[in-house]
Amino acid sequence: MNQSRSNQKDAYALILEAIDSGVYKPGDRLVESDLAERFGVSRTPIREALQRLETQSLLERDGRSLIVASLDHNQMAELYVVRRELEGLAARLAARHATEEEIRVLQEMVEADDQLIGDPAALSKANRRFHEQIHLASHNRYLVQQLDLVHRTMALMATTSLAAEGRSEIAQSEHNGIVDAISRRDEDAAGQALKDHISIAFMTRLKQDASGRG
C-alpha cells in the first residue's frame, strides 16, 4: 500500500471513529483544515475521506459545508427493519458455524458487560462489540460487510436506547438468551431471539423520541 492510500485510510478511520464515539454529532460541521490539524494528517487525505463518508451518506451537504448526517423518523425505521433481518441471519449462521471458542467469548462478553449496567455510554460500546462478535461468528464475509455499514449508520443517532430506564438490564438478559440459543446450536431460536432484541430496542428508541418531543 502506498503512502497516499495509507493516509487516506487513516484519515477515514479517524473521522469515522470520532463520529462513532460522539466527538462529532449529527449536525456538526466538519472543516478540512480543523480535521487536518486535529488528527495530524494533511488536507488531501482528509478531503478524500470526507468525500468517501459523503458517498456513504454519513455526511451531507449544508450549503457549501459538510455536516454529520442525521436520520429522520422514516430513515430510522428503514434502518431498523434492515438491521433486524440481517442481525437475525447473523445469529442463525452463528448457531450453525461458530466455534466453541467463539461461543465462549460471547458468553464471557455477556458476563463482563453485566458490570457496565448503569453506564449507558460504556455499555453502548460493549454492545456494539458483542454484536460484531456475533457477526464474525456467522462466518459470512458479505453479511459482515453489510452489517458493518448498518452499524456505522447507527452512529448517526445521537442517543442510545440503552440510556432508557431499565433497558440496560433487559438488554443484557436478551443477550444472554441469544448466546444460549447459539450455544445450543438452535438456529431458529437464535435468529428469533436477536430479531426480537432489535425490535425491542427500536420500540425503546421510538418511546425516547416521543418523550423528547413531549
| Reported CATH class of domain 73-213 | mainly alpha
What pLDDT score does 4 carry? 46
What pLDDT score does 158 carry? 62
What pLDDT score does 5 carry? 47
CATH number, span 3-68: 1.10.10.10
With a CB cutoff of 8 Å and minimum separation 6, the contacts of 104 are: none
What pLDDT score does 159 carry? 66
pLDDT at 189 over 50: yes
Mean pLDDT across 106-126: 91
Could you tell me the pLDDT band of residue 102, with boundaries at 50, 70 and 90?
very high
Which helix (H) or strand (E) is 66 found in, with range?
strand 65-68
pLDDT digits (tens, 9 = 90+) for 154-171: 888 766 777 677 788 889
What pLDDT score does 180 carry? 98
Q: CB of 50 within 8 A of CB of 29?
A: no
- Domain ranges (residues) in the chain: 3-68, 73-213
Site of grid cell 432489535: 198
What pLDDT score does 70 carry? 86
What pTM value is reported for the model? 0.81
What pLDDT score does 176 carry? 96
Could you tell me the pLDDT band of residue 96, with boundaries at 50, 70 and 90?
very high
pLDDT at 7 over 70: no
The 3-state DSSP class for residue 6 equals: helix
Phi and psi at residue 22, to the nearest 5°: 90, 5
pLDDT at 124 over 80: yes
pLDDT at 200 over 60: yes
pLDDT digits (tens, 9 = 90+) for 20-47: 877 898 899 999 999 999 999 999 999 9
